[in-house]
Amino acid sequence: SHRRRGLGRALVAVAAAGAREAGCDWLHVDYEERLRPFYEDACGFGATAAGLVRLHGEG
C-alpha cells in the first residue's frame, strides 16, 4: 500500500545528503537488474562497470 509514493526515492535522497554532508565523494549502490529503473531513472545513479571478489566465507 506504500508503493509509488516516493518513499524509497526520499530515503535515497536522505542517504545521499548525509553522505555529502559527511564529505563523501561517492555513493555506491548494488541492485538487482529489475530495480535498474528505480535507481538509475528515479534516483539518478549512473551505471558503472565494477568487479567484486569475495575475501572471506563461501559462495
Average pLDDT by stretches of 10, the chain with 59 residues: 88 96 95 95 93 84
**16 class by beta-carbon count within 10 Å (0-12 exposed, 13-18 middle, 19+ buried):** middle
* pLDDT on residue 11: 96
At 54, list the grid cell.
Answer: 569475495
- Alpha-carbon distance of 17 to 24, in angstroms, equals 10
Taking the CA of residue 56 as centre, how many other CA atoms within 13 Å lie in the half-sphere pointing to its CB?
0
* pLDDT on residue 59: 60
pTM of the predicted protein model: 0.74
At 1, list the grid cell.
Answer: 500500500
* pLDDT on residue 16: 96
* pLDDT on residue 24: 96
The identity of residue 3, as a single letter, is R
